[in-house]
Amino acid sequence: MTLTEQTILLQAPNPAAAENGRKLSKKGSFSGRCRTEDGTLYWAQCAGSGKTPYRVSVDWTAPEAPVCRCSCPSRQFPCKHALGLMFEQLSGKGFETADIPLDIAEKRARQAARAVKKEAAADEPPKPKKPNAAARKKKLAKQLEGLDMAEKMVDDLLSAGLGALAGSSAQTYDKLAKDLGSCYLTGPQTAFTRIALAVRTVQQSPDQAAGAYAEALRILVALRSTIKKSRAFLQDKLEAGSFTPEDSALFEALGGVWKLEDLRGIGSFQENARLVQLSFDVSFDRAKKEYVERGWWIDLDGGAIFQALNLRPVKALKYVKGEDSRFGLLEVPALYIYPGGGNRRARWESSSARPLTGGERSALPKLAQPDLAAAVKLAKGSIKNTLAPKFLAVLAPIGRLGRVGEEFVLEDPAGTRIVLRDRPEDGPDHACVERLETLPGEIPAGSALFGLMFCDGRDQSLCLHPYSVVTGAEIIRLLY
Amino acid sequence: MNLQPLYDVKSRLEQAAIAGVGLLGEDFRLQRAAEALKPLAAASPVFAKIDGGLAKLLTAPPERRPGLLLDVLALVDAVAYTQAKTGIDGELEPLPAGGGVYRQISYGQMQPLLTALTTTGGGRMETVQSAWDNHPEFFQDYRVLPAVVGGLGDSYGEMAELCATLLKKLGPAAVPAVKRGFDPAGKKEMARRVEVVAAIQGKEASPWLREILGPAKKDVRAAVITALGGDSGNTGLLLNLARYERGKNLDAALAGLALQDGEEVAAYWEERLQKDHLSVKFLSGARTEWASDLVARGLWELMERLLAGEREISADIHAMLRLWWSAARGKSSPSMLDLWRWTDAKLADIDQVRGEKGQRLGLGTELTALLLDSLCQAGPGPLCGLCLGLWEKHRGKARYLPHGAVASLLTRPAAEVYDEFSPYVPTSRPLLGGAQKQALHNAALAGLSEARWNGGAGRYEVGAGWPAAQPLDKRWAKRLTHAVWKTTMHDFKMPSPFGYGEHLDEYDLIITRLFDPAGPEIRQELAPYLRQRMRELGNYQTYSRWLFALGCTPQGALKDSMLQSGKPAYLYYVWGLLNDGAKSLTPDETARLCQEVLDANYIRREDTAMAQKVLPWTAEQLRAGRPFPEWNDWWNMR
């Protein structure tokens, strides 16, 4: 594997850690640089704030998941010293060939033994799990109780009017919303927090009132639908005595968290997927107080567009590794796909990356919808679903890109048009329509535009927020 | 199909949710909207469903209204989404092929950079500078470049300046982005854009500058006029501007005109200087013949008038004289040379001129210093000949000795310069005429102080960066280190270039910058000299660093110098000194320095215990082949 700066950045828990590692390398903090003859292990000493230098090593036995070890007390993983050692490698500094240190050899052996054990366990048929029926039944009952409470809260809220949700009443709703959490209904709990936040926005910035109230109402409508559908769903399960997760988007809407084994259990996975990232963005979810790092991936074989979400709660920001843009092709042995419609969420445990071949590159724009009309139909079909997000990521063919008056417009080869706009809900850090004007060079024929189709409430028109231009040679990202 | 009734219903339902469904029964607007929907309901089943829902809602008891309202709203929303219009009519104007560049930059690399360029707060300069140092190619990216251009308007001036510098380094590729969205009536950001374009494009920027001149206002206008001055093709325009512009804009036009050449320009300036003596300040940077002649003529008239009068001048006149003299700096037309010869002839009279309170002004000395300065600005050329002539005429006197030395360094072989001027730096104390000889020594040093070794360019330079005719004669090192006097024309101490509150003799500052430290002969002479001076004066921080620059160690002198300094050392400064030493010395040499500091035992009381721990430990670490520790390492051992 060729070590690149991108590889190092992907290992870093956050950009600052990588930058600190680079600085350590630049200022010459490393001494005693060694490597094994086969080049799978690099180690050195790094001067740190302690009396004795830290002993740091990077084990490249599995190049996609290098094992970093360091004697520093940092809780970030990998620490800046390990990242710095990678930068030492990258900058081509001399490493003496030496025998593998004894302690690392022992750790390697233990790790290999664990891997063998895991492999052996994977070969064995999984033991059927015995669900704790009583506990699950109790949980379902509690959830149903919570749904009643949520419905009452919605009714109360609308009876008094959203405009009345201010000051102490907003705080009361916050408290009530927390009670929903105790009923295993974290989905509705978050919905109430979002409503309270939207109303607070109205109070703090009256000029944004229209947008904030519309947002609050959208959430209320979705909540009402969730409550109605979930009640029937949970009652059916309770009556049928079925307590295993099912292929239903309601599970997540109620706040359930899918485990990969459960997704495998319901058959929602795909083997040997080839994914290419079309775009990457990060937003902050004020209600959940977490950063949402979202990668948009296209399945090179089927053309489906997935979103991979990395959620980093503010409270645990240091301990959850940040995601970054990926530019190559990802080969995923098992791709787990969440239930639901639209752009389904996908996760994977392991993957290997490699650069895209010429053929794969040229195949990408061909995965676009046949025309804009098809993309629009798909988007409308998805957005109208009360529980679905109010946007759909699509890859649409480009005929021409231009302006009509002040509006940016995409025209497909058949002459159908759609207005290109920044989605207001995404905020100014996602604004990128203007960048179309400075796109490098001519867009070759046969290219496609990737973006989010959404309905702009200001003039009730369906628009496209462009994220990337996909040509047969490269993906030109308008965002990250 | 006209969907307005649907949108009206949606709007009324939303209003009802905001106001509270308790008032729904009295909401005649909602009822009216529901009525208006009926024709649509008759035409389509989905609208009929909405109509049915509305009817239920309006007749429902209050406790059922919230649920019904949300149900109808969900339906209305779904229909609104499916009926959303798509596309736009009108002539589609294709986007021009952009000239930007796309770089594969990941979120982790780009986001900190964009945040630094577009937000506020501390640490941003470091982020931008570090990104530039590691990945200058990122700045060409079509997503980053506009942010750098936007940075020209950063409220933190230094950040804006950094952006301007980076854009200039990016060169012509940055110009389209800088010109995009340019607002001639804008503020400082737009003025900086003009400056950037002019710096990148030079004369080629003129057509654009002329185009934006008309609508340009305030700061932008001044910047445009300044930029126009960089092109000789704009002379006519600048002449025109100089006639009707005012304030900063007029200053910019005059500064531009001062750089132009031609009869028309010369005539303009002649007229201008007659009307406004003070505008001579704009001619300071002008190197044209006419500018030199005009300044010489004007100065000559002023000086003649002065000498013909009572020879007493007010502070205002003195200030004006200085303005004119300043404009004469670096000019060397024949009439300017004549003026200097005339000045030399009249020096005795000029020295007689006094201030309005009868005080001596020392105008003669001031003028002699100005001539030296002018020579340093002008470099090899007619002024050298003049200065050598004046030195020849007054040989043996201190007045023109610096001029003779500088002109010689610029034009004559190094050995000749040494042979002629080294006798003025005696190495044995004269029996007679000591004061006079010391004055000559000081004058010789004033000349030598204009020479220096430029390590970056790898050459000896004189004055304003002019290359010396030949590398400095190496014999100067021995001569200067063995000189009787270590004095210069200035009898006060100068601050150390390294800080630390140390003040030094100018003599040592001159000789340490005079020589190429890589030369072994130089090192052989300078190292013992610096160690000796270090012991005598106690300025160990500065002298040690000079020794490091020579690749030498202050070992043997450090302890004495520390004690001589009379001030117990801060351990942090000692760490800084040893850390700097470790960069050029061997680990063993640095370890021995640690021991010497320990032996000096002259660390301030609060740090003594820590020094006792860290210094032997550091010596041990260095001898074990480990790098010199960070300050934190020392601090953690306290």
Query: How many whole angstroms separate alpha carbon B377 and alpha carbon A269?
Result: 78
pLDDT at A333: 92
State residue A232's pLDDT score: 85
Average pLDDT over residues B193-204: 93
Work out the mean pLDDT of chain B and round it to a whole number: 91
Per-residue model confidence as pLDDT tens digits over B68-110:
889 889 999 898 899 888 989 999 998 887 778 899 999 988 9
Helix (H, G, I), strand (E, B) or coil at B193: helix
The 10 Å CB-count burial string (b at 16+, else e) for B147-168 is: bbbbbbbbeeeebbebbbebbe
A459 and A372 belong to one structural domain: yes
Residue A295, in any domain of the structure: yes
**Residue ranges in chain A modelled with pLDDT below 50:** none
Q: Are residues A341 and A384 in the same domain?
A: no
In a domain, A360, yes or no: no
Average pLDDT over residues B192-208: 93
Chain B residue with minimal CA distance to A28? B627
* Distance (Å) from the alpha carbon of A38 to chain B's nearest alpha carbon: 27
Interface of B with A in 83-102 (CB under 8 A): 83-102
Q: A129: burial class by Cβ within 10 Å (0-12, 13-18, 19+)?
A: exposed
Cα–Cα distance measured from residue B250 to residue B255, given in angstroms and rounded to the nearest whole number: 8
A287 and A181 within one domain? no
| Residue B118, number of CB atoms within 10 A of its CB | 16
Q: Is residue A298 part of a domain?
A: yes
Residue A243 has a pLDDT of 64
Between B14, B90, B636, which is nearest A405 by CB? Answer: B90
The residue from A253, A270, A302 where one domain ends is A253
Would you tell me which residues 393-452 of chain B have a C-beta closer than 8 angstroms to some C-beta of chain A? Answer: none
| Contact yes or no for B627 and A47 at CB 8 A | yes
Residues A243 and A137 in one domain: yes
- Please give the tally of structural domains in chain A: 4
Domain that holds residue A304: 260-355
Residues A284, A212, single domain; the answer is no
The pLDDT score that the predictor gives to residue B598 is 94
Q: Identify which has the larger pLDDT, A209 or B187.
A: B187
A365-394 pLDDT tens trace:
999 999 999 999 999 999 988 888 889 999
Residue A461 belongs to a domain: yes
Residue A454 covered by a domain: yes
Task: Write out residues 88-147 of A within 8 Å (CB-CB) of B.
Answer: none
- Report if residue A361 sits inside a domain: no
SS (H, E, C) chain A: CCCCHHHHHHHCCCHHHHHHHHHHHHCCCEEEEEECCCCCEEEEEECCCCCCCEEEEEECCCCCCCEEEECCCCCCCCCHHHHHHHHHHHCCCCCEECCCCHHHHHHHHHHHHHHHHHHHHHHCCCCCCCCCHHHHHHHHHHHHHHHHHHHHHHHHHHHHCHHHCCHHHHHHHHHHHHHHHHCCCHHHHHHHHHHHHHHHHHHHCHHHHHHHHHHHHHHHHHHHHHHHHHHHHHHHHHHHCCCCCCCCHHHHHCCCCCCHHHHHHCCCEEEEEEEEEEEEEEEEECCCCEEEEEEEEEECCCCCEEEEEEEEEHHHCCCCCCCCCCCCEEEEEEEEECCCCCCCEEEECCCEEECCCHHHHHHCHHHCCCCHHHHHHHHHHHHCCCCCCCEEEEEEECCEEEEECCEEEEECCCCCEEEECCCHHHCHHHCCHHHHHHCEECCCCCCEEEEEEEEECCCCEEEEEEEEEECCCCEEECCC
**Residue A401 near chain B (CB below 8 Å):** yes
Domain extents in chain B: 4-82, 131-260, 283-481, 517-635
How confident is the model at residue A440, as a pLDDT? 86
Task: Identify from B70, B111, B178 which residue to disrupt to test chain A contact, counting A C-beta atoms within 10 A and taking the largest count.
Answer: B70
Same domain, A148 and A222: yes
Which chain B residues contact residue A407 at CB under 8 A?
Answer: 88
Same domain? A81 vs A162 = no
Kindly state whether residue A400 falls inside one of the protein's structural domains.
yes
For residue A8, the distance in angstroms to the closest alpha carbon of chain B comes to 11
Domain co-membership, A371 together with A448: yes
Tell me if B65 and A158 make a contact (CB, 8 A cut-off). Answer: yes
Is B92 in Cβ contact with A324 (below 8 Å)? Answer: no
Best mutation target, A34, A158, A455, to test chain B (most B CBs within 10 A)? A158
Q: Is A151 on the interface with B (CB under 8 A)?
A: yes
pLDDT at residue A1 in the model? 64
Inside any domain, residue A128: no
Task: Give B604's pLDDT tier (boundaries 50, 70, 90).
Answer: very high
Q: Do A115 and A11 share a domain, yes or no?
A: yes
A290 and A394 in one domain? no
Q: Is the pLDDT of residue B461 over 70?
A: yes
The token duo for B37 is: 């929907």
- What ipTM was assigned to the predicted interfaces of this complex? 0.86
What is the DSSP-derived secondary structure letter of residue B141?
B
In chain B, residues 253-272 whose CB comes closer than 8 Å to chain A: none
The answer to whether residues A163 and A248 belong to one domain is yes
Residues 156-175 of chain A with CB under 8 A from chain B are 157-164
Domain boundary, last residue among A207, A226, A253: A253
Q: Are residues A60 and A101 in the same domain?
A: yes
Residues B394-443: pLDDT tens digits?
998 999 999 999 999 999 999 999 999 999 999 999 888 888 999 999 99
Domain at A277, CATH number: 2.40.50
Comparison of pLDDT for B611 and A15, the residue scoring more = B611
- Burial readout A320-339 (b: 16 or more C-beta within 10 A, e: otherwise): bbbbbbbbebbbbebbbbbb
pLDDT digits (tens, 9 = 90+) for B27-51: 888 888 888 888 888 888 888 889 8
Is the pLDDT reported for residue B447 higher than 90? yes
* β-strand pairing of A96-97 with A30-35: parallel
> Which of the listed residues A331, A355, A379 is the one where a domain comes to its end?
A355
